[in-house]
Structure 1
Amino acid sequence: MNIELKGHKAVVTGSTAGIGRAIAEGLVRAGAAVVINGRTQKRVDAALREISALFPGAELSGVTADVATAQGCAVLFEHAPDADILINNAGTAVLNNFFDQDDSEWLNLFQLNVMSGVRTARHYLPKMVARGWGRVVFLSSESGLNIPKEMIDYGVTKTAVLAVSRGLAELVGGTGVTVNAVLPGPTRSEILSNWMESTAKEQGITQEQAEQQFLKAARPTSLINRFATTREVANMVVYACSEEASATTGAALRVDGGVVRSVA
């Protein structure tokens, strides 16, 4: 399958590293013009420099904005007022004890993991509908279906993302715009790789051994018995943005390695 996105502009939130970075590279590879977003100028500049080196002649721009806030989203919209493709990837996860958390921790995570996507979709979707073509992809997680006891707040936000995605797909049905969610499982993203690296150092084992230990203890239903790569997740996202995926909308597309034990 040859995915061609030339002539389309994509905004990818949280795209300086990890899954977001892989998605940005995948979209560039398919010919799209891509807006890179991160919270620090240093990381945005580094991402632009490195992606440009990989894809000479790529149409890239970057914006430093914290999309967890309304003010940060306003900065993003000023830099990129319009887009054909929106990837709501910005998000984080923190291991925690439910009983030790206060309201502010829940609210802060909700602002980043959920409201960033609500705000960007509210801005970009109407223009997509007016043109009769557009793609919106939300990054959820298998944790939105299998709520992890060590990150209940994270699981709740990722369930909320699924609800927002499906609701928006219903809202724009029949317009030529599709809205989908992609659900990664354990992935060698920046956040999870840092956790595994730290665990490996603490226990005097390799990172691969730490990953296997994590899978056996926390995700024993994995069918691939390994972490996915960020590019494997990005491949699904890029497909969902393509013309070839024009009949796929309102879907929860799993790239979870079979972790979720469900036939649907």
Structure 2
Amino acid sequence: MKIDLSGKTAIVTGSTAGIGYAIAKGLAQAGADVVLNGRTAAAVEQAVATLAAEVSPANIRGVAADVGTAEGCAALVAAQPSADILVNNVGIYGPQDFFEIPDAEWTRFFDVNVMSGVRLSRAYLPGMVERHWGRVLFLSSESGLNIPADMIHYGFTKTAGLSISRGLAKRVAGTGVTVNAILPGPTLSDGLEAMLQEAQAASGQSMEETAAAFVMKHRPSSIIQRAASVEEVANMVVYVASQQASATTGAALRVDGGVVETIA
């Protein structure tokens, strides 16, 4: 199978590092024109330069905008009014006990993890429908099904993403536009590496070994018994964004290493 996204414009939110950057790279390698996004101009410029060096030739640009706000979403749309592929990847997470989470933190998680995708899908989907082709992907998480007791506010937002993606798929039924959700499990991203640095230094193991130990302690149902790579998550996204995945819509597609204990 050869995936060719030449002539397609893809926007990936929160794509200056981690899973988002890997997705942007995968889409660029498949021939798409890619728009990177992050909150700061410095981070966006660095990511654009790095990606341009890694994938050549490629048409890559960046837009600095905080899509966790209505103003930031509007700024992104103003800078890039049209897209064929929208990857709603931006997200925040962090453990916090339910009884210590203030209202403001619930609102912040909802704005970044949920409303960014709502606002951008509302902006870009009509154009896709008019052109009879488009792909919208929401980065959910296995935590949207296995709600973590120490991150209830995060799990709630990832469950919301599943609802929105399924409902939007129905809303644009028969138009040639697909909407899907991707559910990564524990993934060796920049964020996880930063969180595990102290443990790795203490253990003397490699980062991959440290991450595997973390997975087996906190997600013992993992079947692959390790963290996924960001490239493994990106591979699923690139396929679902392709013409070859035209019959896949309204789906929750897991790249969770088998963490979720269900056969469906």
Aligned equivalent of 1:30 = 30
Residue 230 of structure 1 pairs with residue 230 of structure 2: yes
Cα offsets for 1:149-186 (capped at 9, x unmatched): 11111100000000000000010010000000000000
Deviation at 1:205, TM superposition (A): 4.2
Residue 199 of structure 1 pairs with residue 204 of structure 2: no
Residue 85 of structure 1 pairs with residue 81 of structure 2: no
Aligned equivalent of 2:158 = 158
Deviation at 1:198, TM superposition (A): 3.3
For 1:211, give the aligned amino acid: A
Aligned equivalent of 2:246 = 246
Q: Return the alpha-carbon distance in structure 1 between the equivalents of residues 99 and 217 of structure 2.
A: 22
Deviation at 1:212, TM superposition (A): 2.9
Q: Return the alpha-carbon distance in structure 2 between the equivalents of residues 200 and 15 of structure 1.
A: 26
Q: Return the alpha-carbon distance in structure 1 between the equivalents of residues 208 and 41 of structure 2.
A: 32
Q: Return the alpha-carbon distance in structure 2 between the equivalents of residues 243 and 212 of structure 1.
A: 34
Larger mean Cα displacement after TM superposition, 190-199 or 42-51: 190-199
Aligned equivalent of 2:68 = 68
Aligned equivalent of 1:41 = 41
SS across alignment from 1:239: helix
Q: Return the alpha-carbon distance in structure 2 between the equivalents of residues 212 and 227 of structure 1.
A: 6
Unmatched 5+ stretches in structure 1: none
Deviation at 1:101, TM superposition (A): 1.1
For 1:28, give the aligned amino acid: A
Q: Return the alpha-carbon distance in structure 1 between the equivalents of residues 189 and 67 of structure 2.
A: 20
Deviation at 1:209, TM superposition (A): 4.2
SS across alignment from 2:168: helix
Aligned equivalent of 1:187 = 187
Aligned equivalent of 2:258 = 258
**Maintained 8 Å contact 2:216/2:226:** no
For 1:236, give the aligned amino acid: M
Identity over aligned pairs, percent: 57
Compute the TM-score of the two structures, normalised by the length of structure 2. 0.97
Q: CA RMSD in A?
A: 1.0
Cα offsets for 1:62-104 (capped at 9, x unmatched): 0000000000011100110000000000001111111111110
Q: Return the alpha-carbon distance in structure 2 between the equivalents of residues 132 and 105 of structure 1.
A: 39
SS across alignment from 1:2: coil
Unmatched 5+ stretches in structure 2: none
Q: Return the alpha-carbon distance in structure 1 between the equivalents of residues 200 and 115 of structure 2.
A: 34
Aligned equivalent of 1:149 = 149
User: What pairs up with 1:8-27 in 2 under 5 angstroms?
Assistant: 8-27=8-27
Q: Return the alpha-carbon distance in structure 2 between the equivalents of residues 139 and 256 of structure 1.
A: 12
SS across alignment from 2:150: helix
**Maintained 8 Å contact 2:208/2:227:** no
Aligned CA distance change for structure 1 residues 199 and 100 (closer, same or farther; 3 Å): farther
Q: Return the alpha-carbon distance in structure 2 between the equivalents of residues 170 and 245 of structure 1.
A: 17
Q: Where has structure 1 moved over 6 Å in runs of 4 or more?
A: none
Deviation at 1:251, TM superposition (A): 0.3
Q: Return the alpha-carbon distance in structure 1 between the equivalents of residues 138 and 116 of structure 2.
A: 10
Q: Return the alpha-carbon distance in structure 1 between the equivalents of residues 13 and 226 of structure 2.
A: 27
Compute the TM-score of the two structures, normalised by the length of structure 1. 0.97
**Maintained 8 Å contact 2:188/2:211:** no
